[in-house]
Structure 1
Amino acid sequence: MHRMTPQRPAVPFLEALQRSILVFDGAMGSLLYERGVFVTQNFEQLNVTRPDLVKKVHDEYVAAGAQVIETNTFGGNSFRLERYGLVDEVRSYNLAGAKLAREAAGEVAYVAGSIGPTGLVPGVASQADLRDAAATFTEQAGALVEGGADLLIVETFRHMEELRIAINAARAAAPSTPILASVTFDASGTVADGTPPERVASLLRDWGVDTLGVNCGDGPQLSLSMAERMRGVDLPLCAQPNAGLPRTVDGRLLYMATPEYFDVFTRRIIQAGARMVGGCCGTTPEHIRWMVKSARMLGGGVSPVVATRPQAVPLEVHGLDPVPLDQRSRLSAKIAAKQFVVSVEVNPSPGLSPDSALAAAKMLIDNGVDVVNVADGPRATARMSNLAFCSLLIQRYGIEPILHVCGRDRNLIGQMAHLLGASAIGIQNLVVITGDPPKIGDYPEATAVYDLDSIGLLTMASTMNRGLDPAGKRIAGGQTSFLLATGLEPGAQDLDREIRRLEQKRAAGAEIVMTQPIFQQELLDDVLKRIAHLEMPVLIGVLPLVSYKNAEFLHNEVPGMQIPENIRERMRRAPPGAEARKEGVRIAREMLFSVRDKVQGAYLMPPLGKYELALEVLDGLK
């Protein structure tokens, strides 16, 4: 009987990688071990003797949402098979392994043909052995592609010379098939020959691989650290860590890193620049299910079929049309009308009483300020909840606030509850940021959550603006109507990365930009030019300096702050006290008035609760 050829994704692998973050599957060997296959059994032989068992693992990963399925062929080279008396089975085991994975993946996932190391140590192995290694890698690669592999992954290599041999062999056997080269680092942060990750990445680029990555090792933290150091080359990056180090429990090896922990790791590694994520030893379909969820939260995890076959999607998936910008709040109406707006940051003092901060907010609004914004534990300090303070602003004085929302202190469920509560009490303006880490604040031992960074939070809030929760379900009662602002550091050390992040924030739903304080018109002009394509209204950050010491602290100790030497010199020459504050106001006024026609508003941050300085800076602006 004629068997139909298994279908493949319509979009080529590298094209899909440009469109979306892709999630690989997890472990094969440790799952087979857990299901009763003893370690003395050759796992690749199971592709022929127990194909049902191997395919069941593949099926479970596909059901979990994995978009790339690796073949059960990691040890399918002649050197490793020879230990079992199976040296002549290289082609048959690899061909069968690729066909099993292809059948499970169908058109919804890609098949990565897995090629692992031989166990040779290049500095010790003979030239004849190295030639044999090249030959067996070539045979493996050819059989894997013949069986249906969409890409080849040469993985878990610790010796760069053997990895080079494997890459050349794979390229010779399958010239048009993409190659992912993935290495394993030891705890000291090098491969076996001492090569650091930066050098590994540049070598792999020079050897012509299409993508590169890190896998196996001591667990997620090491993989994250190594991946961050490998991202300097312009190639898509993959991370597939073990589920931590294994422990022996009742005679069995168990891996201890939980699926929930891999959920957090996935967000962090994607934020660090990875385009591919997955698991290695000890990971399960449940780990992958959590990773898929995280990838989708950050704009990935899209099926290769969906990308090429537009379908009529029910309203429940698309949600409602967002409320028009000019109807969301008084601030959004002014933004939509292209009016110049002024926001001043007001935060309650630490402790129980918000009265002084409330009085300051009323004083500012009475003197022409458009809106008050309230930070979310700025500089990682503990004070009254900004949600509670904003509620008091609304109740007592009818003041429209901007609520800062940062990712540091609340998990995904808490963030959802926070935004629902904000909407319920009439807060319609949000500034969405990642947030300062606890170690810089009053309680450095506090645990940072960071379930969602600013991009994830923006995705959540913009989804709620369409009447959907993060899982895609309708929100009972309708939709939120938030104006979504985000931050930008013009003085960031890596401005290119900062602008790339802003582009991602724009795609996630950000509508306006509120910058960190800026003291250089030339820098602002450059930034405005570079972000003009985003067509986002900009509120320039303005911070009146109060002393020379204040200026030096901000310049030298606050990330993202650049205060030019001539400005710091002006503050140095000013006598301490009132004269220094006046000079700080003059500097702020000069900057703000010189750029007011280039931006849509100002975001003032009065230092040390000196709110009267904000009015001095603004005098005559409107």
Structure 2
Amino acid sequence: MSRLLNTLKHNVLVADGAIGTILYSEGLDTCPEAYNLTHPEKVEQIHRSYIQAGADIIQTNTYGANFEKLKAFGLEHKVKAIHEAAVSIAQRAAGEDTFILGTVGGFRGVKQGDLSLSAIQYHTEIQVDTLIQGGVDGLLFETYYDLEELLTVIRTTRQKYDVPIIAQLTASNTNYLIDGTVINEALEQVIQAGANVVGLNCHHGPHHMKNTFSHIELPEHAYLSCYPNASLLDIENDTFKYSNNASYFGKVAEQLIHEGVRLIGGCCGTTPEHIQHIKSSVKNLKPVSHKKVIPIHKKHASTEHHDLKLSLKERVQRQPTIIVELDTPKHLDTQRFFKNIEALDKANVDAVTLADNSLATVRISNVAAASLIKQNYSIEPLVHITCRDRNLIGLQSHLLGLSLLGINEILAITGDPSKVGHLPGATNVYDVNSKGLTELALRFNEGINTDGDALKKRTNFNIAGGFDPHVRNIDAAVRKLETKIESGMHYFITQPVFTKEKIIEIYQATQHLNVPIFIGVMPITSYNNALFLHNEVPGIKMTDDILDRFKAVANDKEATYDLSIAICKSLIDTIHEYFNGLYLITPFERVDYSLELAAYSKSITSTKQEAIL
């Protein structure tokens, strides 16, 4: 057994606090880890201040020193150099009596990036190898929101090294991780993966940490650790700050030891003063070997479903189904819009889809329109949700509001970037993409929010996704579609198609997928409209024959309308040979096109059904 673990077997150890907090308070304008190379004496001074305050353990200044985080500061090529310097600085400060932990921070946060698990594993191995070669006494994996990520890096490390591993998860809820896993159960998985000390750090102050640890059992083959934040984060004069509560911090630290914690330190906002109070409070305490665990009363979400109507997915699986897209107005004169909604409702169209500021152009809120449709008409609103305009807070609030209004059909889309619209200077958010939004909605359907806490009721979202078949290699588009299916999307709506050949191609490429697909049809309103689509919309090409036919009637509105309807009817004939789902895109508020095509679709599908019967 290592000297560190042997010491923990019989003693409570006090770790250090934050490094970045001190550096930022003194005007740091880069990442804290850069100071290992540019201001090593400053980092060493901070280490010494924590040791003087009573810390038995210090950690290397390497929390954010991975390739991805350093890239934001142009330092990605100095990963090894920063780690090597960090270990040397810590060793100079520590001497023989203080343990040194090599710190590695998690990549994934509440907002998950696009970095794959294999890439995370690769970059983490570089950090771990450099720290071990430098001679640290153990490794500290801290601030891991994602359990899968932490388990992966621990298993990989344990296969290579027999060193003490301290592994700390971060939870935004006191009892659950963001994926809904009970913290106690998650810590047991971390132990099974190979960690010697397990616990929590960051996000919560001492009060909430104490509440959490009251539910955590004493592990049989590991020890518990806890590094709370100084407090909840506050803001004063546009500056983020933590409470000046070092004395209180020390008092709660004593309670944490009674809950089984053997290694206690500080995270964000903590200073040598906090560590001094911790040391004073716990220096005469011995680790507990027994404790009373308060069980968690799991809050199960209600399984009641308020809307007994068939979802669009269920409808299209049973029978031909029509949805019509109708954009909300750009102004407050909604008379024509709702008159069109009424006409679609009377025509027994199954659903009306409402875009979410499509092409980054401001329109009336589709949720407001959907709410009025839900109150006054029988037609089902299918609400688009774009990730462009809302952060993770706004998206969740948006979903909860939709559920409260009884709006369950949603289309999850990443969204056109702001630069394509009328306000190119507007900010793009993109905290998540359409797949991430889908995962949020599915979690809500389980009755769990992103904190891992219960919503007390389940949402009933049926999630549609977009499918663009207008690519050079449709197999690549289908592979992208398959990843959307894996994320949990229930059915799909395509971009408009303009040839029978494309419809058949879509069928052949997707027939192995067990998901409904609505094929898009958009009437052409004029020869100029045809030219625009052909020449300026990526992926859409008209045949020379179609262009010539529209050119021949360019000056005759009635003939243009008849030609457009005839072409669309021909496409609908082919669609219903292969698919049950028809998606009509209303051009320029011309709902007369959609009404005639919907009537035609119903006439041919009902005729086929009667023939079968």
In structure 1, the partner of 2:103 is 58
Residue 153 of structure 2 corresponds to 110
Q: Is the contact made by 2:441 and 2:461 (CA closer than 8 Å) also made in structure 1?
A: yes
Separation in 1, partners of 2:142, 2:380: 55
The residue that corresponds to 2:88 in the other structure is 45
Given the alignment, which residue of 476, 493, 512 partners 1:533?
512
Match of 1:394?
374
Report if the CA contact (8 A) 1:346-1:373 is conserved. Answer: yes
SS at match of 1:473: coil
For normalisation by structure 1, the TM-score amounts to: 0.55
2: CA distance between counterparts of 1:58 and 1:410?
Answer: 34
SS of 1:596's partner is helix
Partner of 1:570: 549
Q: How far did 1:534 drift?
A: 2.9
Shift of 1:468: 1.3
Q: Secondary structure at the match of 1:506?
A: helix
Residue 512 of structure 2 aligns to a residue whose secondary structure is: helix
Name the CA shift for 1:414/1:497 in 2 (closer, same or farther; >3 Å). Answer: farther
Amino acid at match of 1:621: I
Cα displacement (A) at 1:332:
4.5
Q: CA deviation at 1:487?
A: 0.8
Distance 2:566 2:590 in 1: 15
Q: Deviation of residue 346 (structure 1)?
A: 1.6
1:442 and 1:600, CA in 2 relative to 1: closer, same or farther beyond 3 A?
A: same
Distance 1:146 1:601, change over 3 A: closer
CA distance in 2, matches of 1:567, 1:472: 54
Q: For residues 435 and 554 of structure 1, what CA distance do their matches in structure 2 show?
A: 20
- Aligned residue for 2:182? none
Unaligned runs of 5+ in 1: 7-25, 77-92, 115-143, 150-257, 259-284, 287-313
Report if aligned partners of 2:44, 2:89 keep a CA contact under 8 Å in 1. no
> Could you tell me which of 448, 468, 482 is aligned with 1:503?
482
State the identity as a percent.
Answer: 28
| Cα contact 2:360–2:416 (8 A) shared by 1 | yes
Pairwise CA distance, 1:536 = 0.6
In 1: Cα distance, 2:416 partner to 2:361 partner: 9
Once the two structures are superposed, residues 250-309 of structure 1 have per-residue CA deviations (whole angstroms, 9 ceiling, x without a partner) of: xxxxxxxx9xxxxxxxxxxxxxxxxxxxxxxxxxx98xxxxxxxxxxxxxxxxxxxxxxx
Shift in CA distance, 446/103, structure 1 to aligned 2, threshold 3 Å: closer
Task: State which of 308, 316, 319 in structure 2 corresponds to 1:335.
Answer: 316
What's the TM-score once normalised by structure 2's chain length?
Answer: 0.55
Report the alpha carbon displacement of residue 572 of structure 1 after superposing the two structures with TM.
2.4
Aligned to 1:121: none
Following superposition, the deviation at residue 28 of structure 1 comes to: 5.0
Q: Which amino acid aligns with 1:95?
A: Q
Match of 2:532 among 553, 566, 584: 553
Alignment partner, residue 196 of structure 1? none
CA distance in structure 1 between the partners assigned to 2:151 and 2:404 by the alignment = 41
Q: Distance in 2 between matches of 1:104 and 1:387?
A: 40
Kindly state the Cα deviation for residue 339 of structure 1 after the two structures are TM-superposed. Answer: 0.9
Counterpart-to-counterpart distance in 2, 1:425 and 1:595:
33
Q: Secondary structure at the match of 2:429?
A: coil
Using the alignment, how far apart are the partners of 1:64 and 1:486 within structure 2?
25
Deviation by residue 1:229-257 (Cα, 9 ceiling, x = unmatched):
xxxxxxxxxxxxxxxxxxxxxxxxxxxxx
Match of 1:415 in 2: 395
Residue equivalent to 1:621: 604
* Residues in 2 aligned to 1:322 and 1:499: alpha-carbon distance in whole angstroms: 35
Aligned to 2:408: 428
Question: Would the aligned equivalents of 2:320 and 2:580 in 1 still touch at CA under 8 Å?
Answer: yes
Conserved in 1, the CA contact under 8 Å of 2:389 and 2:429? yes
Q: Residue 350 of structure 2 aligns with which residue?
A: 370
Task: Spell out the pairing of 1:59-138 with structure 2 (5 A cutoff).
Answer: 69=124, 95-97=133-135, 100-101=138-139, 108=151, 110=153
How far, CA to CA, are the matches of 2:141 and 2:402 in structure 1?
49
Q: Secondary structure at the match of 1:110?
A: helix
- Aligned residue number for residue 190 of structure 1: none
> Matches of 1:33 and 1:567 in 2, distance apart?
72
Distance 1:352 1:404 in 2: 20
Distance 1:28 1:601, change over 3 A: same
3-state SS of the aligned residue for 1:603? strand
494-503 vs 533-542, which moves further: 494-503
Alpha-carbon distance change, 95 to 455 in structure 1, aligned in 2, over 3 angstroms = same
SS of 1:533's equivalent in the other structure is coil
Structure 1 counterpart of 2:103, which letter?
Answer: H
Alignment of 1:84-233 (within 5 A): 95-97=133-135, 100-101=138-139, 108=151, 110=153
CA gap of 1:533–1:321, structure 2 versus 1, over 3 A, is: farther
Q: Secondary structure at the match of 2:505?
A: helix
Quote the offset at 1:105 in angstroms: 12
CA shift for structure 1 position 420: 1.3
| 1:28–1:439 CA distance, 2 compared to 1 (3 A) | closer
Indicate conservation of the 8 Å contact 2:313/2:491, yes or no.
no
Which is higher, the Rg of structure 1 or of structure 2? 2
Identify the residue that residue 459 of structure 1 maps to in structure 2: 439
CA contact (8 A) 1:411 1:450 kept: yes
Work out the CA distance in 2 between the residues paired with 1:382 and 1:440. Answer: 12
Is the 1:44–1:72 Cα contact (8 Å) retained in structure 2? no
CA distance in 2, matches of 1:441, 1:105: 39
SS in 2 for 1:379: helix
Shift of 1:579: 1.3
Give how far 1:608 is off. Answer: 1.0
